[in-house]
Amino acid sequence: MKNISILLSFLLVILGYNSQAQTTYTVSSNTSWNSTYGSSCSNCIFNISSGVTLAIDRSVTCNTCTFNGGKIDMTDNVNCQPCTFSGNTITIKDKVLKPNSGTTSFSNVNFTANGDGSILANTAVTITSSTFTFNSTTFFKNNGGQLDVTSSILTFNDDTYFLATAGPVNLKTSSKLIAGNGTVSSTAYIKMNGPTLNVYDASLISIKNKNNSYFNWGSYNAATTGSSYSTTSFTATCGGSGQHACSTPNVYGCATLNAAGASACSLLPVSINDFTAEYISNHVELVWSTSEEINFDHFSIERSTDGANWQSIGIVYSKYSSTGNTYDFSDGAYLDNTAYYRLQIVDKDGRTSYTKIISIDAGTTASLVSIYPNPVTNLTFNIKLSSADATVVNVFTMDGRLLFMTSFDGQTQYQVKLPQSASASTYLIVQVISKGQANTFNIINRK
């Protein structure tokens, strides 16, 4: 009987060991999670090859999962209990990445949230040597535990925000939380709703423009020096001409919060109202508009293949107008994958700042629809599609007014002739709706 008990105990140990065994997957070609891995994965390691995408296209629970390298496209919710991300390029759109237990970590990660996607952290998170960019109405809520940010930059563009209700939040080794990209239209903010904020060494919080803000009823700590700073009475960027009325405890931009305390900063003399990229024929067309150009010199256009390493590909000089202008730049380099773009803004005194990062999948976009020639001449352009399905074409002015609408069916190429009323507009927006997808292009109308 004793031997039987020992044998049963041994079997239980073996079974328990096997239930915790790791499973390693090598992802060497573009892979859909939904058709491969099921709704959950426990003790799983995913080694994703460079340039390969793992599309998480169903709601997933990861119980101790590790993701190494490659690209991760999250088009459904991901629960991490916990997850480790290392060396990845991650995008999420309209869905939630939710760290729920343990400590979820990001190392050497380029993370982009679009649409109304979000990170909802109900447990501790560590971010190291990484870049996080939040666009549109996305957000990062730290609701469950300590957040350590080391050698990393978290940028909140457009109408995004960072909200911490748990902590502490630790910014270390020149890390940055940035609210806004310098445009007055951005309402991005950073809000500390209770937890302690510790700012180490050269780390900082940057509030870019007057409609961006930092909120904290408590003080923040300059952890390296042992100093503590309250910002509830900071009024250097409110109450003046063109500024918000002061509203405790908000700190409005342009302002910097670092180990030396809070200070006002000077706004660069140009505001970017819009910045878009469209694949047209065999090149990427970048278009952006400005306002309030004062003492502004030029833009340096920068491109990246990974969102982290940047190369200057051209310069566009100011048109010198106090009321703003529309600018464009054509990138004719061969692109067969995702390309990232940003603008470096340079004023005549040498000060610089950057716009938000935008991206475009040149290969995918090219296969769907293209418009040529661009610039358009004689009010005529061509549309090329990947199928002969029914297509609707809408043409708008830059202020959103519908100028022209037409529809086609049965062909893959069409010629569009704009009405004479379009001749008054130099820049137009073309929306092509086909196969349930809408593609939007900015075109230049040369008279």
In terms of domains, do 259 and 358 share one?
A: no
In terms of domains, do 159 and 118 share one?
A: no
Hey, what amino acid is at 75? T
Closest CA to 335 of 284, 287, 278: 284
Question: Last residue of a domain, which of 267, 285, 302?
Answer: 267
With pLDDT > 70 as the criterion, what percentage of the chain qualifies?
87
Residue 218 above 80 pLDDT? yes
Residue 233 or 349, more confident? 233
Residue 227 in domain: yes
Longest dimension (CA), the chain: 98
In terms of domains, do 95 and 42 share one?
A: yes
Residue 213 above 70 pLDDT? yes
| Residue 436, number of CB atoms within 10 A of its CB | 6
Residue 70 in domain: yes
Give CA–CA dist 168/274, Å, rounded. Answer: 36
In terms of domains, do 326 and 338 share one?
A: yes
Give CA–CA dist 354/329, Å, rounded. Answer: 16
Residue 104 or 21, more confident? 104
Sign of CA dihedral 397, 400, 404, 407: positive
Residue 363 or 424, more confident? 424
Residue 75 above 90 pLDDT? yes
Hey, what amino acid is at 115? G
Give CA–CA dist 305/161, Å, rounded. Answer: 26
Q: What are the pLDDT digits (tens) for 101-122?
A: 999 999 999 999 999 999 999 9
Residue 3 above 80 pLDDT? no
Q: Give whole-number Cα distances, 145 to 97, 120, 141, 171, in Å.
A: 16, 11, 11, 15
Residue 48 in domain: yes
For residue 447, the model assigns a pLDDT of: 61
Pairing of strands 369-377, 391-397: unpaired
CA atoms within 13 A on the CB side of 206: 21
Residue 364 above 70 pLDDT? no
Q: What value does the mean pLDDT take over residues 229-235?
A: 93
Residue 68 in domain: yes
Residue 183 in domain: yes
For residue 48, the model assigns a pLDDT of: 95
Residue 393, domain CATH: 2.60.40.10
Describe the strand order of the beta sheet including 402-408 as a list of residue ranges. 402-408, 391-397, 427-434, 437-446, 369-377, 380-385, 413-417
In terms of domains, do 355 and 387 share one?
A: no
Runs of H (alpha helix) within 20-126: none
Q: What value does the mean pLDDT take over residues 243-251?
A: 93
Closest CA to 284 of 366, 350, 173: 366
Q: What value does the mean pLDDT take over residues 419-433?
A: 79
| Residue 323, number of CB atoms within 10 A of its CB | 8
In terms of domains, do 339 and 368 share one?
A: no
Look over the chain and give the mean of its residue pLDDT values, rounded to a whole number.
Answer: 85
Tokens found for residue 2: 């004793």
With 0-12 CB in 10 A as exposed, 13-18 as middle and 19+ as buried, what is 291?
Answer: middle
Q: Give whole-number Cα distances, 196 to 16, 103, 154, 223, 297, in Å.
A: 41, 19, 18, 11, 41
Using 50, 70 and 90 to split pLDDT, how confident is the model at 33? Answer: very high
Give CA–CA dist 104/167, Å, rounded. Answer: 14
In terms of domains, do 110 and 42 share one?
A: yes
Q: What value does the mean pLDDT take over residues 230-249?
A: 90
Question: Last residue of a domain, which of 242, 267, 292?
Answer: 267
Quote the strand ranges of 305-337, DSSP E.
311-317, 326-331
In terms of domains, do 256 and 156 share one?
A: yes
Q: What are the pLDDT digits (tens) for 260-288?
A: 999 987 665 677 777 888 877 667 889 88
Residue 133 or 20, more confident? 133
For residue 282, the model assigns a pLDDT of: 65
Q: What value does the mean pLDDT take over residues 83-92?
A: 96
Residue 357 or 380, more confident? 380
Hey, what amino acid is at 81? Q
Q: What are the pLDDT digits (tens) for 375-393?
A: 788 888 888 877 778 888 8
For residue 307, the model assigns a pLDDT of: 74
For residue 125, the model assigns a pLDDT of: 98
Give CA–CA dist 346/316, Å, rounded. Answer: 11
For residue 63, the model assigns a pLDDT of: 96
In terms of domains, do 260 and 292 share one?
A: no
Residue 131 in domain: no
Say which range, 26-30, 122-126, 141-145, 328-332, has the weakest mean pLDDT. Answer: 328-332
Hey, what amino acid is at 31? T
Structural domain range at position 253: 146-267
Residue 54 or 306, more confident? 54
| Residue 365, number of CB atoms within 10 A of its CB | 18
Q: Give whole-number Cα distances, 413 to 111, 285, 378, 404, in Å.
A: 37, 21, 19, 19
For residue 374, the model assigns a pLDDT of: 78
For residue 8, the model assigns a pLDDT of: 45
Using 50, 70 and 90 to split pLDDT, how confident is the model at 349? Answer: low
Residue 162 above 50 pLDDT? yes
Give CA–CA dist 33/17, Å, rounded. Answer: 26
In terms of domains, do 302 and 262 share one?
A: no
State pTM to two decimals.
0.64
For residue 345, the model assigns a pLDDT of: 84
Residue 310 in domain: yes
In terms of domains, do 186 and 259 share one?
A: yes
Q: Which among 185-194, 239-248, 383-392 has the top mean pLDDT?
A: 185-194
Residue 363 above 60 pLDDT? no
Q: What value does the mean pLDDT take over residues 406-430?
A: 82
Residue 320 in domain: yes
Beta bridge partners of 397: 428
| Residue 125, number of CB atoms within 10 A of its CB | 24
Domain count, the chain: 4
In terms of domains, do 401 and 297 share one?
A: no
Give CA–CA dist 58/48, Å, rounded. Answer: 18
Q: Per 3-state DSSP, what percentage of the chain is helix, strand, and coil (rounded to 5)?
A: 5, 55, 40
Beta bridge partners of 408: 391
Give CA–CA dist 115/133, Å, rounded. Answer: 12
Question: Last residue of a domain, which of 250, 267, 284?
Answer: 267
Say which range, 156-170, 198-212, 353-367, 398-412, has the weakest mean pLDDT. Answer: 353-367
